[in-house]
């Protein structure tokens, strides 16, 4: 009697489809994955359907609030991540052959830092290194540097991975800032519960400064909340309330019209780290940008408004607060 023979068909998955799969898996949403990849949601939906048809299994369970990995999709995540890491390593190896610093350097940072620090830094960099172009990825979520989602990152948390290298660090405290018009409505030294606070809304309402303000103010509720830092900043400028910002100042920006309030926030500190991978730093253009960012971070002034007004310390800088909090 002839024995049954099982035939297996090899499935070839293009690298672009692996990237798409990982983007959906890590953002939990087709729309967020589309934004991260620079595609439209209908394109993401179509390509995902084609991928699922190719592998013969559903990769995600669709729901109103996003997309959750299926059991089969869970099995593919780690192999896909390893593939992404090796693809990034291959790209970096090829880039090391460049003879002079030229090309795109991708930097990821929180929205406030991207807006306030990296955008003017990019304009200055163009005058020093015209063959290098910065690509800024502004996001609350941390991107995977090992997979080369970015070459450099400005983060508020110390790098935990052994693959990452800390190149520079700025330590500062935070203060409450408001428009002159709003400040004039308050007592000279207001209590925390006398201030209208601008803060985060879901899904970021568990982050700083919401977390600290909730601990300091019983029944804390912001007067205005947004999931976009620039919207919060605009609300503060419009006189809606006060916003918590890092006190560190850089040299690229002028005053933003906000003044520091004389309130006691306690020992709330903020740190900013410039991180990368060793393999990325071997690329000439990445190393140049990393060195220049490191120098700029060394130049920051971390004094409070009162210390600057009295001339305390031996360094004076100009510019607005470096947004080194979770912005």
- pLDDT at site 305: 61
Half-sphere exposure of 223 (CA within 13 A, CB side): 14
Provide the pLDDT for residue 153: 94
Residue 223 lies in a domain: yes
Q: Domain containing 21 — which CATH number?
A: 1.10.10.10
Reply yes or no on whether the pLDDT at 5 is more than 50: no
- Of the candidates 203, 248, 198, 238, the one whose C-alpha atom is nearest the C-alpha of residue 220 is 198
Mean pLDDT lowest among 10-19, 88-97, 226-235, 314-323: 314-323
| pLDDT level of residue 66 (50, 70, 90 thresholds) | confident
Contacts for 52 with CB less than 8 Å, ≥ 6 apart = 58, 59
The CATH number of the domain where 112 resides is what? 3.40.190.10
Q: How many whole angstroms separate alpha carbon 24 and alpha carbon 3?
A: 42
Average pLDDT over residues 211-226: 94
Give how many domains the chain has, as a whole number. 3
pLDDT at 54: 87
Above pLDDT 90, what percent of the chain? 39
Whether 325 shows a pLDDT value over 50: the answer reads no
Joined tokens for residue 132: 């290098």
Q: Give the domain-ending residue among 92, 126, 151.
A: 92
Bridge partner residues of 151 (DSSP): none
At 117, is the pLDDT very low, low, confident or very high (cuts 50, 70, 90)? very high
Decide if 291 is inside a domain.
Answer: yes
Q: Higher-confidence residue: 99 or 199? A: 199
Average pLDDT, the chain: 84
Q: Which residue has the higher pLDDT, 55 or 91?
A: 55
Determine the average pLDDT of the residues in 44-70. Answer: 87
Q: Is the pLDDT of residue 327 over 60?
A: no
Instruction: Supply the pLDDT for residue 95.
Output: 60
Domain membership of residue 20 (yes or no) is yes
Min mean pLDDT across 156-160, 228-232, 277-281, 322-326 is at: 322-326
> Are 131 and 278 found together in one domain?
yes
Pair 109, 158 in one domain: yes
pLDDT surpassing 90 at residue 256: no
Q: Read off the pLDDT of each residue in 33-39 and give the average, rounded to a whole number.
A: 84
Q: Is residue 65 part of a domain?
A: yes
96 pLDDT more than 80: no
Q: Are the C-beta atoms of residues 158 and 165 closer than 8 Å to each other?
A: no
Task: Give yes or no: residues 197 and 239 share one domain.
Answer: yes
Q: Are residues 82 and 138 in the same domain?
A: no
Helices 119-128, 284-298: inter-axial angle, 10-degree rounding: 120
First to last CA, the chain: 71
Query: In angstroms, rounded to a whole number, what is the distance separating the alpha carbons of residues 258 and 118?
Result: 20
Domain that holds residue 253: 172-271
Does residue 263 share a domain with residue 179? yes
List the single range of 20-29, 44-53, 125-134, 248-257 with lowest mean pLDDT.
248-257
pLDDT at position 310: 65
Is 250 buried (19+), middle (13-18) or exposed (0-12) by CB count in 10 A? buried
**Residue written as token pair 């299994």:** 57
* Same domain, yes or no: 123 and 235: no
Highest mean pLDDT among 46-55, 171-180, 186-195: 186-195
Last residue of a domain, one of 271, 289, 320: 271
Q: How confident is the model over 284-321, as pLDDT tens digits?
A: 999 999 999 999 998 887 766 666 666 655 443 344 44
pLDDT tens readout for residues 156-169 = 888 767 778 999 99
Q: Which of 12-16, 160-164, 206-210 has the highest mean pLDDT?
A: 206-210
CA distances from 256 to 5, 178, 184 (A): 73, 10, 17
Residue 96 and residue 282 in contact, taking contact as beta carbons nearer than 8 Å: yes
Confirm whether 129 is domain-assigned.
Answer: yes
- pLDDT score at 182: 97
Q: Output the CA–CA distances (angstroms, integers) from residue 67 to 47, 62, 139, 202, in the order listed.
A: 15, 5, 20, 18
């Amino acid at each position: 009697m002839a024995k049954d023979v099982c035939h297996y068909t090899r499935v070839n998955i293009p690298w672009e489809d692996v990237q798409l799969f990982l983007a959906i898996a890590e953002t939990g949403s087709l729309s967020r994955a589309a934004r991260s990849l620079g595609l439209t949601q209908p394109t993401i939906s179509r390509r995902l359907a084609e991928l699922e048809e190719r592998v013969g299994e559903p990769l995600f369970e669709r729901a109103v609030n996003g997309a959750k990995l299926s059991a089969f999709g869970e099995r593919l995540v780690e192999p896909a991540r390893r593939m992404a890491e090796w693809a990034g390593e291959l790209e970096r190896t090829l880039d090391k052959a460049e003879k002079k610093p030229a090309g795109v350097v991708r930097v990821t940072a929180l929205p406030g830092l991207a807006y306030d620090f990296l955008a003017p830094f990019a304009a200055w960099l163009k005058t020093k290194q015209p063959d290098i172009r910065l690509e800024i990825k502004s996001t609350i979520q941390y991107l995977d540097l090992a997979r080369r989602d970015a070459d450099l990152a400005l983060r508020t948390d110390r790098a935990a991975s052994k693959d990452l290298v800390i190149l520079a660090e700025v330590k500062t405290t935070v203060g409450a800032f408001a428009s002159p018009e709003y400040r004039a409505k308050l007592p000279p030294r207001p209590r925390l519960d006398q201030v209208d606070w601008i803060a985060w809304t879901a899904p970021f309402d568990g982050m700083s400064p919401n977390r600290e303000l909730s601990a300091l103010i019983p029944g804390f509720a912001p007067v205005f909340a947004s999931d976009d830092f620039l919207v919060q900043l605009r609300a503060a400028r419009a006189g809606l309330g006060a916003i918590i910002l890092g006190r560190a100042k850089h040299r690229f920006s002028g005053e933003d019209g906000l003044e520091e309030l004389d309130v006691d926030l306690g020992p709330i500190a903020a740190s900013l780290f410039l991180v990368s991978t060793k393999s990325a730093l071997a690329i000439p253009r990445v190393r140049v940008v990393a060195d220049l960012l490191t120098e700029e971070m060394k130049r920051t002034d971390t004094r409070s408004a009162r210390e600057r007004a009295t001339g305390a310390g031996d360094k004076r800088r100009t510019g607005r607060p470096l947004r080194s909090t979770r912005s």
